[in-house]
A and B are shown apart, each in its own frame.
Chain A
Amino acid sequence: MPITTFQGFLATANLHHSLLVDLCAEAGVIGRAKLLAYMERHGIAPMDKEALIQRYRRAAILYEETEDTYTVNPVVAGLVNFYERRGRLTHAEFLKDQIVDIGNLTDALQQALFADPPEPERIADTVDKLYLVVRQVRESWYQHYQACMRAFGDMKRNSEGKRIDQRIEDLKTVNRRYIEPLSELIDPHAEPVRKMARLRRCMADLAARTGLLADSVELSDRRQRLLIDIQYIDYTLIHHFETLIDTSRSLLNSLIEEKTIKEALAKCLGDLDAVWPLLSGGTVVVAGTLASQAPGMERLGLFFNDVVHRRYVARPRPLSTSLPQEARAESLLLFEEQLLKRIREAREIADWPAFVNREFSTYPPAERLKAIALPLVMASPPFRVTPTGRTFHGDLNEFTIEMEDFGIVWEESHAG
């Protein structure tokens, strides 16, 4: 087999770029049939397929594991996935171990900070180590996020032809291996989140040592970069992981729903005679007015007339009005003539205010007061006012009055 130069490798890798990206997305061994199917999808002519496989093998892009099974060179896969921003799945244990490392380093930093005498070198070294680990966490978490998202996409794209049960199994596997452990990393009550919180507190302690930071440019520089990474993890990555968990859950839900639909359809189709009676209560399709079952045209025409002329009023209510009670003016107002008539009939009234109050007790108080005052304000009255020299006390419900009492004597000569 001729040895391929680096130039040759690059030329080969560049040949079918998108095919290579897809192959690198495959995690395990690739069967020959699958390899050929990938080539088919990327429009490679059948006769060129074998030659291309050989070329990939020569360039050490593909390794032949056994007869008819291949793996992609992990170095190539890593590079392609890195540059294609496809992320890399990280094992959950590794993600957790990194947090444990951070926890241990935080303890060390805490000790160094409060050591007596102070140990600036140890502080600087620990911050440096912390910086490296936190950067690693940031990168691996981000890669993990991208890889999981890609896995969802691949699953959707490659699901064609797979049965629902198989698809549910696949998703459950991905969920168990890569998604489920993430919930522990973002659970506010679990160890990892508490460890990160302790790191933040420790960083605050470090920030308080202004003297120490002023002495070392490198230390303050590292501290700032570390802070940026911690913030990125706190705000962006934690949010990303929540998205992952939600996405996985909703994908699984929709697959399970699909499964129930499929089962229901199969069952119904298999037993149509039992389905009809159960369906007959509802409406599947209405025949419509053009078919024979439709209501007659006269009825429709009448209906349209009524709607168009707005004879129908939604939810009509019977009219109801409460009629006002009829009352005559004479029973509410005391007229001058009425009073004069009474005086003429009586001829002489010894105590006019008390008389009004007694005789007209059904009238409103204001009316009675006007009547009491009438003899005193009337111009040229047909009667004479005779003061009694006593004082009149009267209670007119709304107010009380106190005035000089007087009587009235009718004088016939004035009448007319």
Chain B
Amino acid sequence: MTDQHHCTSANQPAAELDTVSRACVHIDAAAHQLETAAHGDVFSPLLAPAGQLALIRGGIDPTIRAAVDPNDRLEFMAHVDHALSLLDSVPASAGPPDLLVWTLRLHDMRDALLAAWAQQP
């Protein structure tokens, strides 16, 4: 099990990381962004989707964690998009056998977040 701490911010993925791990780092980074945006308010509606993203990341690989990157300039949706793009690029024989399902879950999550965003006044 590898701890994705050193040099593993989502913006600067380590060269040696495989595609699935990089996708996980982006998902984790998106979750961190939502948590940070909640500003410690435990009733914030941002915390629930953050937890959902972390769960999806855990489904893909429970041993990947992204380090919190204070210089992260990407918005959370951009992280999700990067993750989706990376997951879609994984060859069928390379990733875990249920990767397709986790990718679908992430895609559904993205759609739900976008729909929620669109409903904001």
A and B interact: no
Interface, chain B (partner A; CB < 8 A): none
